[in-house]
Chains A and B, each alone.
Chain A
Amino acid sequence: MYLKKLYHTNKWWFAIITLFVIVQLAMDIRHDIALSPVYHYGMYSEIITPKTKYTVPVIKVNGNVLRTQDFTPAQWDKISYTVELFHNQQKWNSLQWNTDIKRLLHLQDSSKYINKISNTDFNVWYKGYLENVLQKKIDSVSVEFVDYTFNGSTFTKIPG
């Protein structure tokens, strides 16, 4: 048995690895907050069915829509996921602070957990960021969250 062998080899490492295993199993049973380096590896395990409505961030640079096909997956994540995360970060970070961090760590100051960046700051930063990614001068950037309906076989843009 592995743990027995580890125990006979080095008792300190045995203690560390055993603790790791216990925390990993406990987290998998509770399906709760992580404790690095113990994480939940679900990889799309929850039930996901096609929805009737999708909101898609559409990024325009100098009036032209950026196309996913022109970028590697990592490059596209860098361009697009950044926008989505910024869109959600204020609400998400505040939720983490208010529901768990403040309570579990008995802290009063939220400044380490919530961003100070404003929408204007982000827009200025994102323009420079895209200039670096695209390696060209950018005059204008716009991000629009567009709603689409899914009818079972294709997307249709919802006018609005």
Chain B
Amino acid sequence: MWIIHLTAAPLQKYPAEITLKTNRRYTIIVLYCMLFYALLLYKYYNGMLLYQMQPSFFYTRQDVFTWLFMQTGLHQWLLNNTGGCLLFDVLFYTAPAVYFLHYRNNRQTAYISAVYMLLVNWLYVQCYSLYATNSIEGHTAWLLFPLVFMPKKEDTFEVLFNGLRYFFLFFFASAGLWKLRQGGVFNLSEMAGILLYQHKQLLVTSPGYWQTNFIWWLVQHAKISFLLYLSATIIELIFIVGFFTKKFDKVLLLLFLVFLVTDYFVMRIPYFEVTPLLLTLYPRDGKNGRGRFVTV
């Protein structure tokens, strides 16, 4: 079992030795893996793994990095290539487990697995999001998290993890600010327009279905549906508070979950790939020194 000595907290106040399991970084890694593999099950059920997608064409996005990446031809190699897609799935879905086991057994060299995970995630997400139904913005967590896992030192991990928290706050707050800048939040028929655009197929192919009736009701009551849009904007803007204090992180966590669930049921948008970023709002202080800076 790993023994960790506290260095950044007063010895008389916190236990002199804590086990790996009370280390905040270890807790984050475990939770990250749990979310990752829960999403694996969700995607498998919905046929969203790469080998289940069987891509036959790609959709070039407006991204300079992606354009350079496309020079490798990997995105074309995977087209109509079930074996290649399966290989990519195996590499991507085993990487967190490899890192977890490596960190558990040898923390000093675990950065090697983190670099491996970073490389695999970037290759996978760059390709995966070029095929139908997958926006790369929703996969940012998989691109950034391995960076946080790379440092050997716990204090560097803590600072980077804190940076990821700021990114998550920005991710949400900027969506609210954009609604102010682009004017969506000043348009009373905004939500009705969004619902018609988003659900036109549901409205046409599924008459009488409860969700269809609900959407029609919202469209026909534009002012009420606008309140939903306004609420979402306010939720997004509330995330600005997180830049100044961590006192309300639990509230932000709850608000984000409300946003996710509402997005799923009202908009039929499964935005679950973002959930790992929720970990950055995970409470810092707990029993047995959890959340304190620790080094081996």
Interface residues of A (CB under 8 A from B): 2, 5-6, 9-10, 13, 17, 24, 28, 33-37, 39-51, 54, 56-58, 65-69, 72-78, 80-82, 85-86, 88-89, 92-93, 96-97, 100-101, 104-105, 112-115, 117, 121-122, 125, 128-129, 132-133, 146, 148, 150, 153-155
Given the interface pairs A47-B182, A48-B184, A48-B197, the reply to whether A96 lies near B62 with Cβ below 8 Å is: yes
Q: Which residues of B contact A (CB under 8 A)?
A: 42-43, 46-48, 52-54, 56-71, 73, 76, 80, 126, 132-133, 136-137, 140, 143-144, 151, 153, 155-156, 159-160, 162-163, 166, 170-172, 174-175, 178-179, 181-184, 187, 189-190, 192-194, 196-197, 200-206, 209, 211-212, 216, 219-220, 236, 264, 268-270
Top 4 nearest A-B pairs (CB, nearest first) are: A45-B178, A48-B193, A36-B65, A69-B206
The chain B residue sitting closest to A45, CB to CB, is: B178
Cα(A125)–Cα(B271), bound, Å: 28
A48-B190 contact given A41-B178, A132-B54, A155-B204, CB 8 Å threshold: yes
Separation in Å of the B259 CB from the closest CB of chain A? Answer: 10
* Main secondary structure on B side of the interface with A: helix
Query: In the complex the two chains form, is B200's CB within 8 Å of A56's CB?
Result: yes
The answer to whether residues A39 and B140 also contact, given A13-B159, A24-B170, A86-B57 and a CB cut-off of 8 A, is yes
Instruction: List B contacts of A43 (CB < 8 A).
Output: 175, 178-179, 236
With A36-B143, A96-B60 known to touch, is A57 a contact of B201 (CB < 8 Å)?
A: yes
User: A43-B175, A92-B60 provided; 18 other pairs, C-beta below 8 A?
Assistant: A10-B159, A17-B163, A37-B143, A40-B178, A41-B178, A49-B189, A54-B197, A56-B200, A66-B205, A68-B205, A73-B264, A75-B47, A101-B60, A121-B56, A125-B56, A128-B54, A129-B54, A132-B47
User: Could you say which of B170, B181, B192, B203 contacts A45, with CB atoms under 8 Å apart?
Assistant: B181
Q: Which single residue of chain B is at the shortest CB-CB distance from A157?
A: B204
Q: Find out whether the CB atom of B206 lies under 8 angstroms from the CB atom of A92.
A: no
| Cβ-defined contact, B133 with A77, below 8 A | yes
Q: Which residue of chain B lies nearest to A105 when distances are taken between CB atoms in the complex?
A: B67
Q: List 23 A-B pairs, Cβ < 8 Å.
A: A2-B166, A10-B151, A13-B156, A24-B170, A34-B65, A34-B66, A37-B144, A39-B136, A43-B179, A45-B175, A45-B179, A48-B194, A49-B189, A50-B219, A51-B193, A58-B201, A73-B264, A78-B133, A82-B132, A122-B56, A150-B196, A153-B219, A155-B204
Chain B residues near A33 (CB, 8 Å)?
62-64
Task: Report the separation of the CA atoms of residues A9 and B179 in the bound assembly, to the nearest whole angstrom.
Answer: 36
Residues of chain A within 8 A of B63, CB atoms compared: 33-36, 39
> Would you give the shortest CB distance from A4 to chain B, in whole angstroms?
11
Given the contacts A45-B182, A50-B192, A93-B60, A9 and B137 also touching, CB distance less than 8 Å:
no
Cβ of B201: which chain A residues have Cβ within 8 Å of it? Answer: 56-58, 68, 76, 80
Closest-by-CB residue of A relative to B129 is A36
Q: Is the pair B183, A47 in contact by a Cβ cutoff of 8 Å?
A: yes
A41 touches B137 (CB 8 A): yes
Contact assessment for A9 and B155 in the assembled complex, using a CB-CB cutoff below 8 Å:
yes
A105–B182 Cα distance when bound, in Å, is: 30
Q: Which residues of B contact A104 (CB under 8 A)?
A: 64, 67
CB neighbours (8 Å) of B126 from chain A are 36
Minimum Cβ distance to chain A for residue B46 (Å): 4
Query: Residues of A contacting B197 with CB < 8 Å?
Result: 48, 54
Q: B137 to nearest A CB, angstroms?
A: 5
